[in-house]
């Protein structure tokens, strides 16, 4: 057996495709590990909860598209780590937060949002100023927060479409040499003072909370500068960061594929070998049972099952195994039929070894290379079947999978609207995973079946 495995190893290492397959697989496994370690576990639980994705842009392209275009599309930026300065003047305490950004894009931002939680008593004053690259300072907001007697927490979001901002800007219209009353505030702030064009450079947003005789604080504040490109893969219509979905999809797909293929190949192997070895009536009845499963239309049954029982991913894995072992059982039975006529099996029998021992010690090791190859080859089918079911909307909603991302893409008409970054990456991931296992399986098969080597 050990001579066997070393022989397999040697011929396997000679095949280039097999090594490429191993390489891709290692990359995918590394990606899964990276996801588990660095991506917060919460992101996959919140995947189908639109409320947790509000600070992301809607249908933003991947940010690397800027490399290929002359005009730079504004990137969606979230600043949640401001510099905080406390200023005490007599009885007045000013909490100052400073956000700084380099705006080097050729278009105006989509919008901006400032969200914060303020803890205060009485009624402090909230001011937001922006210092522009041309040295001008614009006051955006100046308002007092709702009166409160004791210490209380108040959370709010200020949007760029806020009327107060527009009013404040109109008051400062003398800073501009043209009419600004028809222009939305987000464009006024970021445009040159002599023409309606983007002013590039460093912008500083200052948020001040001014209170008298108190210990006011601002926490959890963030400034979101809405753009049209975001991250490595962009976002979808529900504002979800697609890269997170794709990353979580990797371990799930690998898990489904590997568990289903190992389970069904092992089951098929044992079933087929036992039937072939026993022969006679046992063989006949076991093969008829095999025929029944073989004749069942798999995909329709999977759909019926997931509709009538539940769409849990673990149940689905079980169902996929039920439909997966049939082919392996047929082939390993015919292999067992050949092997059992060999002399060493006869020898073992005359020595009085138990059937189970003969099967596991003498017959199955002979078929092992074939079994390994079929495990690798049947992984892609399991992954694509799961993806297909998810694509039809029958997936397990507690896990983000590649198929579900594609389902959402179809549901929101991504193809019609040209949202290519929503359709391409999940399919490429599915294909890449499949390819890795097909490569590995094919080169294992060449090893297991020398006929193909010629």
Where along the sequence are the contacts to another protein (CB under 8 A)?
17, 288, 291-292, 295-297, 299-301, 303-305, 307-308, 380, 384, 387-388, 391-392, 406, 409-410, 415-416, 418, 420, 423-424, 426-427, 430-435, 438-439, 442, 451-452, 454
Cross-strand partners of 324: none
Taking alpha carbons only, the member of 148, 335, 113, 143 closest to residue 227 is 113
Can you say whether the dihedral through the CA atoms of 191, 195, 197, 203 is positive or negative? negative
CA proximity to 383, closest of 13, 25, 47: 25
What does the block give as tokens for 26? 């290692």
Smallest separation, CB 53 to another protein (Å): 23
Q: How far is the CB of 70 from another protein (least distance, A)?
A: 21
- CB-nearer residue toward another protein: 140 or 254: 254
Q: Are 87 and 94 in contact (CB under 8 A)?
A: yes
With the C-alpha atoms ordered 227, 228, 231, 234, is the resulting torsion angle positive or negative? positive
CB of 40 to another protein, least distance (A): 29
Least gap, CB of 434 to another protein (angstroms): 3
Indicate the residue among 51 and 292 with the shorter CB distance to another protein: 292
From the CB of 394, what's the least distance to another protein, in Å? 9
For 48, other C-beta atoms within 10 Å of its C-beta total: 16
C-beta of 156 vs 284, nearer to another protein: 284
Q: Is the Cβ of residue 20 or residue 267 nearer to another protein in the bound state?
A: 20
Instruction: Give the end-to-end CA distance of the chain in Å, rounded to a whole number.
Output: 25
Alpha helices in 87-232 (DSSP H): 163-171, 185-189
- Rounded to whole angstroms, the Cα distance separating 204 from 197 reads 19
Q: Which residues contact 335 (CB under 8 A, 6 or more apart)?
A: 272, 273, 276, 366, 367, 370
Shortest spacing between CB 429 and another protein, in angstroms: 10
Q: Sort residue 225 into left (φ over 0), alpha (ψ -120 to 50) or beta.
A: beta
Nearest to 109 by CA among 236, 229, 193, 194: 229
Closer to another protein by Cβ: residue 223 or 389: 389
Shortest distance, CB of residue 316 to another protein, whole angstroms?
A: 15
Q: Which is nearer to another protein, 30 or 296 (by Cβ)?
A: 296
HSE value, Cβ hemisphere, 13 Å, CA-based, for 281: 0
Q: How far is the CB of 324 from another protein (least distance, A)?
A: 17
Q: Measured from the CB atom, is 168 or 384 closer to another protein? A: 384
Measured from the CB atom, the residue of 216 and 306 that comes closer to another protein is 306
């Amino acid at each position: 057996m050990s001579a066997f495995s070393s022989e397999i190893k040697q011929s396997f290492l000679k095949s280039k495709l097999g090594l490429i397959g191993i390489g891709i697989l290692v990359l995918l496994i590394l990606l899964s590990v990276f996801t588990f370690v660095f991506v917060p576990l919460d992101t996959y639980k919140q995947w189908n909860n639109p409320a947790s994705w509000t600070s992301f842009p809607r249908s933003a392209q991947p940010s690397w598209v800027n490399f290929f275009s002359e005009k730079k599309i504004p990137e969606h930026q979230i600043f949640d780590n401001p510099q905080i300065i406390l200023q005490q003047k007599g009885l007045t305490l000013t909490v100052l937060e400073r956000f700084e950004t380099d705006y080097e894009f050729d278009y105006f931002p989509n919008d901006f949002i400032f969200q914060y939680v303020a803890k205060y008593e009485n009624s402090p004053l909230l001011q937001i100023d922006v210092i522009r690259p041309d040295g001008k300072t614009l006051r955006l907001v100046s308002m007092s927060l709702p009166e409160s007697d004791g210490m209380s927490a108040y959370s709010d979001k200020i949007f760029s479409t806020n009327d107060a901002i527009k009013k404040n800007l109109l008051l400062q219209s003398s800073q501009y040499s043209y009419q600004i009353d028809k222009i939305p505030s987000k464009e006024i702030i970021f445009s040159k003072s002599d023409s309606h064009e983007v002013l590039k450079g460093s912008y500083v947003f200052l948020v001040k909370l001014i209170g008298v005789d108190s210990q006011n604080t601002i926490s959890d504040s963030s400034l979101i500068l809405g753009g049209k490109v975001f991250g490595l893969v962009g976002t979808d219509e529900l504002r979800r960061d697609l890269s997170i979905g794709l990353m979580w999809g990797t371990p799930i797909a690998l898990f489904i594929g590997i568990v289903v293929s190992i389970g069904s190949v092992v089951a098929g192997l044992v079933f087929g070998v036992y039937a072939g070895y026993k022969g006679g009536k046992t063989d006949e009845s076991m093969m008829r049972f095999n025929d029944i499963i073989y004749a069942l239309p798999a995909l329709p049954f999977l759909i019926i099952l997931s509709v009538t029982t539940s769409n849990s991913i673990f149940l689905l894995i079980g169902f996929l195994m039920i439909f997966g072992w049939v082919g392996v059982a047929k082939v390993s039975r015919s292999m067992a039929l050949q092997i059992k006529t060999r002399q060493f099996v006869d020898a073992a029998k005359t020595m009085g070894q138990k059937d189970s021992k003969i099967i596991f010690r003498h017959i199955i090791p002979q078929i092992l290379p074939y079994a390994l190859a079929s495990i690798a080859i049947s992984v892609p089918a399991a992954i694509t079947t799961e993806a297909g079911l998810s694509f039809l909307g029958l997936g397990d909603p507690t896990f983000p999978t590649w198929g579900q991302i594609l389902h959402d893409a179809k549901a929101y008409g991504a193809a019609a609207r040209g949202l290519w970054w929503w359709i391409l990456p999940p399919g490429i991931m599915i294909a890449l995973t499949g390819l890795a296992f097909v490569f590995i399986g094919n080169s294992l098969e060449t090893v297991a079946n020398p006929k193909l080597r010629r």
